[in-house]
Amino acid sequence: MTPQGAGDREAAPQSAKGTMPVGEGVEGTPELFTPDRFKGQNVLITGAAQGIGQAVANRIAHENGSVFLVDRSELVHQVAADLAEVTSGTVGSATADLETWEGAEAMVAAAVEKLGSVDVAINNVGGTIWAKPYEHYTPEEIEKEVRRSLFTTLWSVRAELPALIDNGGGTIVNVSSVATRGVNRVPYAASKGGVNALVSALALEAAPKNVRVVATAPGGTLAPERKVQRGPGPEGEQEKEWYQQIVDQTVDSSLFKRYGTLDEQAAPIVFLASKEASYITGSVLPVAGGDQG
């Protein structure tokens, strides 16, 4: 598997008015966690080298789950090594190009080989690459946005589903976005709308096979500066202005008038992934301070 195509949701961006406040990292023991909630569970997590994916992996490891971490960046191996010291379960990692079927298929095979089976799959790869009005996107940029934020989930879920069914059932948690109603990122919004449709449609098919399919839809999220960038940052005053419009809308749409934290995003993902949510399927939970997307 080769590195390509991971990321977290709406990290606080650079803007024309400066940089949004940067959140703290996820190293160390989470402030809140439920001991042994994932003991005996094998959890596959994509986009796990940084941001929300890393926060989720950290939480599940501290809850004694076995985790298999996947990212486009080699940094994922260090994250896995650190988590191996805090969980009683097994820890593995791999790099993968989840924008391709071959990468997703190889990822699941590696996870099953390492963990023995997969009980839960958390698909966290995606994220806006560019920020501008739709008429300014090139056809190539539109295709890249869709590959990054829709096909990574489509391929991952297609590869994960047989492994879950063969294991007698399990849970898929996709990470979508409230940006389905957002400015200056139409291709990304359309991609996340596709993720939402995937959740509702697949839940109908998968329930008789004892597989739950759910998602969260994060809003703007404070995170440390990205170690692996999604794409080029805004260049020139016009691009900075377009990016600032995203920042302003994100804050204005939150009833709390702020960005969320990594812990605030990780907690509902981990809940939906757990057995505590056993009667929830086909749902997309907005986690955006009241913004419903």
Catalytic residues: 188
Closest CA to 237 of 248, 245, 229: 245
First-to-last alpha carbon distance for the chain, in angstroms, is 34
Residue 11 · residue 221 · CB < 8 Å: yes
Structure tokens at 250: 């994100």
Amino acid at 89: G
Partners of 67 in beta bridges: 43, 91
Phi, psi of 13 (to 5 degrees): -90, 165
Q: What is d(CA 282, CA 284) in angstroms, rounded to the nearest whole number? A: 7
Does an H or E element contain 212, and which?
Answer: strand 211-218
Q: Are 188 and 246 in contact, with CB atoms under 8 Å apart?
A: no
Q: Strand, helix or coil at 94?
A: strand
Burial of 65 (0-12, 13-18, 19+ CB in 10 A): buried
Q: Is 186 exposed, middle or buried (0-12, 13-18, 19+ CB in 10 A)?
A: middle
Which H or E run contains 122?
A: strand 120-123
